[in-house]
Structure 1
Amino acid sequence: MNENALTAFLALAETGSFQNAARAMGVSNASLSRYVVQAEDHTGLVLFHRSRNSSTLTRAGQEFLPIAQALREDLDRYATRVSGLRETGPGTLLIGCGPLTTRTLILPVLGAVRRTMPDLRFRILVSAYARPLDLLQEGEFDLFLGDLTYTPEAEDVEIIVMEKQPIQFVAHRDHEIHQLGPQTMAGIFDFPFASPHLHKHWRAALTKALGGGAEAVKKVDAQPHIECDDYNLLTGLLAEPEFIVGGMPDTFAELIRAKTAKPVSMKQNLTWNICAARKSQNTSAAVELVWNEFAKYRA
C-alpha cells in the first residue's frame, strides 16, 4: 500500500469526514477519495460505509485499522532511522569506551580496521560509564570497551575479557615522591591524586590494597582530588610537581620519553579489569571486523 493510501485511510477513519480528512492531508476531496479507493483495492476489502455527510468503518475496516496503525508506526521509524543516517553518514560505527582504553586498545584497533575498511567512520564515546551493557542493549553503542564490573543479565551480549595490564602511577620528574623509594598505595594517596572516575570496582580494589579497615575506606573516599575522563587534562597536570596521575603506560609514554614525567616506583601493582562487549545478534561486517581485532587482545 502506498503511503498516500495509508494516510488517507487513517485520516478518514479518525475524522469520519471526507472534507476534514482531505483538509488534514492537504489534498482535494477528489484526491482523498482516490486514495481511499486505492487502499480498498490494495486490501481487497470494503473499508468504509459511505453516506452523504459521513463515513464509518465497516467491520473489515475496524479489523484493518490496527494493522494500518502499526504500518504507520513502522514507516515513521523508517523515516527516523533514515534521517539518522543522513546526520551521521553511511557506515558510522559507534564505540563506547572507558578512558583507560583509548591509547592502549582503541588506537591500535582503529588503525588495523581502517586498513581493511578505509571508508568506515567512527564515533568514539569516552566516559567511565556506570551501566555500559544497558546502553549497549539500548543501541547507544555498536560495541563497548571498558570496565564491566557491573554486568546485568544480558543473554544477547558477547563479552571478551581482555589481557590484564598494570596500572601505572606517574608524577613530574621533580616530584618529591621519586626520592622516597618504592611506594604502596597509601604512599600514593599522601599526595594530590588525579584519575578518571573511581567506580565501585576500583574503590574496592584500592581499599583492599590499603588494608581494608575504616581508615582505608576513609582515605579512598577522599580520592581523587581531580576526577576527569579526559586524559589530556590529567596528563596536563604533570607539567608541575604536584599531582600523581594514574592510568595506562601508553597514556604516559610520550611524557616519559621526553623526561618531563617519571613512573612512580611501586611495591604493589594494580591491574585493569577491561572487557569488550557487543550484541550477539544483528551484527555487521564492520562490527565483526572490530570485534576480531579486539579478540587479539583476549586474556
Structure 2
Amino acid sequence: MLNENALNAFLVLAQTGSFQEAARKIGVSNASLSRYIAQAEVETGLTLFHRTRNNSKLTRAGQEYLTVAQDLKSDLDRYQNRVAELGDTNGGVLRVGCGPLTTRTLILPTLQKVRKEMPNLRFEILVSAYARPLDLVQNGQLDIFVGDLTYTPEADDVDILVMEKQQVVFVAHPAHPIHGRGPQSLSDIFEFPFASPHLHKHWKATLTKVLGGDATAAQKVAALPRIESDDYAFLAALLDSPDIIVGGMPETFKEMLALQTVKEIPVLSPLYWNICASRKSQGGSAALDLFWSRLADLNTADI
C-alpha cells in the first residue's frame, strides 16, 4: 500500500496536471514531489503519468488507478478521524442510529447504563426513519441501529437482536370527540387528522390490507399521515389541540397519560412494531459491545 506522502502526491498531481502547482499545494519541493511519484509508480508497478516539460497527464493505467487511490484516501481519512476521536475522548464516539419510536423506550435507558460504566464515552444519537439502515451499519456510518427492521432484507456480516414487540397506541387530547365512541377500528381512527413518523411502503401496505385492501383503503392510506415528523416532541405538542390523533409507543406518551393531558384511544385490533437492533458482526469496540449488552438486558423477547 502507498505511504501517505506518495498517495497525496499522486492525487494532487492528477488533479492539477502540473508538478510546480502540485508541489506548491502539498508544500514540498519539485524534487520531493518527483520522488513521491516515483515511489507510487514503483509500489503499483504502473506508469501513472505521461510527463512533458509543461504538464503531466494520467496514463490509461493512471486513470484506472485514480479511483483506487481516491478510495484509499477516503479510508485513510476515516481511520485517522476515528483515531483522533478516540484520543480526544478517552473512549471514542459511539454512533447510534435509531427510529423515532425507540428513543425513550430503548435508547435512553441503555445510554444511561452505559454512561455509568464508560463516563468518557461520547454519543451521537441520530434519529431518523432510515430507509436502508443496514447499509449504514455495514459501511461504518453507524455503529449500531435500533428500529423497525421487520421488512429489511437480511444482510451479510450483521448481528440482529430481536427486541420485544411494542404495541402501537393512539392518543388524543381529552376533549377529542373520538373518546366518546368506545373502542375504534383503524378505519375509524384514520377518519381524523393523524400524525406520526414516516410510514414506509411496507407499513402502508399493511394498513391497506387491514383497512380492506380495496382501492378506497389504498387511497386513504396514501394520504397518511396528515402530519409527518420524526420528532416526537413536536408530535406530542400537536396534542395540545383536540383535533389531532398521534400514533406511537406507550412509553412515548407515559408522562402525558399520567398527567391526563392526553387519553389513549382503545382499538379493536392492536398493531405491533417489531423492533430490532443491528451491528456489524466483526470489528466491534468495547463501547459497542457494552451498549449491545445493556440493550440486550432490556430485551424480554425470545431470541
| TM-score between both structures, scaled by the size of structure 2 | 0.76
SS in 2 for 1:198: coil
User: Structure 2: how far apart are the matches of 1:172 and 1:258?
Assistant: 12
User: Structure 2: how far apart are the matches of 1:232 and 1:141?
Assistant: 24
Structure ID, larger Rg: 1
2:76 alignment partner, one of 75, 78, 92: 78
- Which residues in structure 2 correspond to 1:223-262 (within 5 Å)? 223-262=224-263
What is the Cα deviation at residue 9 of structure 1?
10
1:106-157 per-residue CA deviation (whole Å, 9 max, x = no partner) reads: 1111111111111111111111111111121121200011111342341201
User: Structure 2: how far apart are the matches of 1:298 and 1:129?
Assistant: 25
Establish whether residue 95 from structure 1 lines up as the match of residue 96 from structure 2: yes
User: Structure 1: how far apart are the matches of 2:31 and 2:223?
Assistant: 74
Structure 1 pair 22/125, CA: closer, same or farther in 2 (3 Å)?
A: closer
What is the Cα deviation at residue 75 of structure 1?
6.8
Gaps of 5+ in 1: 13-17, 44-52, 54-65
User: Structure 2: how far apart are the matches of 1:293 and 1:178?
Assistant: 39
- Which residues in structure 2 correspond to 1:88-127 (within 5 Å)? 89-90=88-89, 91-127=92-128
CA contact (8 A) 1:149 1:201 kept: no
What is the Cα deviation at residue 80 of structure 1?
4.7
Number of residues of Structure 1 aligned to a counterpart in Structure 2: 282
What is the Cα deviation at residue 81 of structure 1?
3.2
User: Structure 1: how far apart are the matches of 2:240 and 2:207?
Assistant: 26
User: Structure 2: how far apart are the matches of 1:230 and 1:196?
Assistant: 8
AA in 2 matched with 1:97: C
Same amino acid, percent of matched pairs? 58
- Give the CA RMSD over aligned residues: 4.1
User: Structure 1: how far apart are the matches of 2:95 and 2:295?
Assistant: 15
Structure 1 pair 6/105, CA: closer, same or farther in 2 (3 Å)?
A: closer
CA contact (8 A) 2:169 2:264 kept: yes
AA in 2 matched with 1:198: L
AA in 1 matched with 2:190: F
CA contact (8 A) 1:131 1:150 kept: no
Structure 1 pair 282/177, CA: closer, same or farther in 2 (3 Å)?
A: same
CA contact (8 A) 1:145 1:275 kept: yes
AA in 1 matched with 2:159: E
User: Structure 1: how far apart are the matches of 2:7 and 2:278?
Assistant: 41
CA contact (8 A) 2:93 2:121 kept: yes
What is the Cα deviation at residue 77 of structure 1?
3.9
What is the Cα deviation at residue 202 of structure 1?
1.8
What is the Cα deviation at residue 276 of structure 1?
0.6
What is the Cα deviation at residue 271 of structure 1?
0.8
Gaps of 5+ in 2: 14-18, 44-52, 54-63
